[in-house]
Structure 1
Amino acid sequence: MDSAVDLKCVDYAAGLDMLFNLSPDLLCHFSADGLIIKANCAFKDALGYADEDLLGRPFISLVHPDDVPETMEQYHALNRNETVLLFYNRYRCIDGEYKSLSWNATQLPDGTLYASARDISEIIKARRVKERAEERLRLSNERYKLVTAATKDVIWDWNLKNNRLKWGKSFESSFGYTEDIKNGPIDAWADHIHPDDKEYVLKSINAAINSKDVKFWREEYRYLKADNSVAFIIDQGYIIRNLDKKAIRMVGAMQDITELKEKELRIMKQNEQLMEIAQINSHEIRRPVASILGLMQLFDKELIKDSSLSELVKHLKTTTQELDAVIKRIIDKTAD
């Protein structure tokens, strides 16, 4: 009878050993003083060790130096019969690299320690990749905000898939429209193009979108503000296409050139006024001068005996010719 019981105990122990070694979790049995008594196949395979590398070795010798203080705190907690759940540290592999492990551990009735772990190295790597990507995105968004704050240009982003247009913060301050217009369908932008410019602007931008090899679009037009005033605009955008060269997105900026346009119009008006002055010079002022020069030709030098009178006539003729030359130079400069 005793032999049968002993046999059952042996079978039970063998079964436990089999389960211990077949578990996908990293299982380890430690002595109360932290020496490795037994490690399962998953533990050895994950770190690359054999039994002779592990058995009788202090587990803390495998822990990353930066993780030792916190690991020892958890170890002392286990010796106080406290359970440790989801504790994270790094274990050195046989090749010198480290793997990130997440541990659950408890103290057994005989005072030894039992722990199971899972290799979360890939999860940690993925988390770090995600964190770096999020940080790059945060910095990119921050730079975008700073750029839009530093420029008067109105940045826009047109999603061609859902036909919605998103504006930068300067849209409202530049044109006075509310949030309803700021982030809405493309028609909300098109409806405020000056009626005289709307047809050719829409024709131009649609032609650029539908031309598979076109990457950039630029147009100058008038845009109606919320207060019904008119802004002169230079609008340009970059077209983003998919692998089939179909336009899926367009990003650009509207630049308000109203002040420059007004200066240009003033200069054009001044040029027109100068041309009018030139016309007056060439016809109104030169006519009496030409008449005086004609009359001077009628004077008969032989009949003018008085020397002082002759000198006066000569001086008058010279002065009139000089005046005519000045008028001609004014005309030539104005024409340039």
Structure 2
Amino acid sequence: MAAPLPDNEQERLAALRSYAVLDTEPELSFDDVTHLASRLCGTPMALVVLVDEARQWFKSRQGMDIEECSREEGFCAHTILQREPLVIQDATADARFRGNPFVAAPSGIRFYAGAPLINPQGHALGSICVLDYTPRQLTPEQTRSLEALARQVVSLLELRRMNCEQRRLIAELRTSQERIDILQRATHDAIWDWDLKTNQLTWNPRLAELLGDELEHARSDISWWFARFHPGDRARVKDSLDRAIAQGASMWTDEYRFRLANGTWARMFSRCAIQRDAEGHPLRLIGVSLDISEREALRARVALAERMSSVGTLAAGVAHEINNPLAYVMANLNYALTEVREGRAGAPDADELTQVLQEAHEGAERIRRIVRDLKTFSRPADERMEWLDLHHTIDSAVTLAWNELRHRARLVKQYQEVPRVYANEGRLGQVVLHLLMNAAHAIPEGAADQNEIRITTRVDAEGRVLIEVSDTGRGIPEAIRSRIFEPFFTTQPVGEGMGLGLSINHTLVTHMGGELQFESEVDKGTVFRVVLPPPERLAPESAPPREPVPPPAEVAATRRGRLLVVDDEARVLSSLERTLGRTHEVITFERAQAALAWLEQGQPWDLILCDVMMPEMTGMEFHAALAQRMPERVRDIIFITGGAFTATAREFLARVDNARLDKPFDLQALRALVEARLKEVNPVRESPPSRDGAARG
């Protein structure tokens, strides 16, 4: 279905033509944007689309062979009719697009999401869009990222147009102020004219916006301008400019940090023409300076997101690799302790050996808790809310931040009795971890005995649950307190923090229905306060457990069961055989295929303990194979996992209702789970043979 024309179609087309970009060659800056869009949204196709009278022309494309299509066949003609992103989860279900040839074709387009490219005058020039051959949807963060990239594309178009215009105008500049006036009308950037003979600097009104009232007190000599450069950049930029002047260059460009009126540092880009006399002696520099902080911050944010994703993946993978050996270490230690206590209690060295083994067991348990906390903070962002033990979540954050805290301050925990909170564990833990790190970085190293970081929990008069992280650090100056939750706002030099942490924390807490507040006094410290709404307001249909569920008590075996254990780690198998073999018959397999072949022989069994992540055939594939052959027995699998560190594994464990234990598991809990499940199954049932009646290897 063809889209109707916008009400301002003629003005929109005139605005589009003013950029002189249609049918131009590909440009790396636009290709970078579509590459980022494809990566951020996880789609095989991404386009920068400009919509003219009759067609949609692709300025940049990823995963698409054609360069343009007719306007009536395109999706983006609909996108330019609105200000918000257009998201089509399944084009075959949308009356506007189900007859579209790109949709109706075999393996056609199913998913589309496009953010309109709206220029400063409000005209929709086209869109940046992502497409897929399967139905899907975007997360809110992906939608916001797509809108941010749309603004970046418009900035690139504006910069491209300004660059073309500036090159044309600078070529015409000689000595007169009239040329400066032309530039002032053509661009919104800071334009300056430096007379090398008098060392005087003149500028246009845009500079007043950057410097505010301070411009009234500015001197007109160039030294005033250089004084505002960041100390780390000043000598380098001046040397670069001196070389360009001395070596006869006609143009000079550089980037540097520049102090604005509010005291923050902006990333500036300057370009100037060097005017010379007939003998080549330099006379004046006429240039333009652009604040490119937002563009650089966006790039840094995308890079940060990729780095954090990589760190999370690495952390989950490391946790998995640690958990496998840790599982058999703890199981063997527990077995050895039991043997010593029961069989060697009278031996002369039994007490000492028991103590050594007990200490080793405690050390392994400490590692298990650290790995558990690491897994919590490495899990990807999701929307899942659950009842949490608040103090457990805080303690997990403290564990990870401890190395930063202990060198700067004493840590004081002031926990009051609070109910369980209904929140997202990963998000809440991330907030507390960042507030702890923020508090630590507000205090210089070397005076830990003189400073304090305090964590307080309490319930206020309205029933809200409060977490307070206070420090005795330098405090926040009053002049910048109103901006600390703004994205990318930071008083740190460029390269020492992007100013995203508090903004992200504010967003995370808000998404959980809470508030992030703060109080600060210079040279005395700061208190950040996470205010979570009363639990019943967020989850009115389910009351929180009043007390944490105690660990299961030792359960006596009700009957001897036949257990199959499937794990690619031989030592895990042997430790479980020792642990469970006293009361049950345990049959072990290092390969899931071998276990499946054994089952298809019709052997009787009660329960299967199966790892999730294994080579050749995973626990997920084993589950699927058993569901096909013996669907009535598939719930008799108990999954044991060292970490679901892939998206597929996480989705699988969230979908199936099988019992699950994480490595390194508590052996008492394992025995209790086995006994509980054995009560639910009939004693040693005969398994039906496979459909074809043949055993498989």
Q: Give the shorter-chain TM-score range.
A: 0.3 to 0.5
Q: TM-score, normalised by structure 1?
A: 0.47
Which structure is higher in RCO with an 8 Å CA cutoff and minimum separation 6? 1
| Larger-Rg structure | 1
Q: TM-score, normalised by structure 2?
A: 0.24
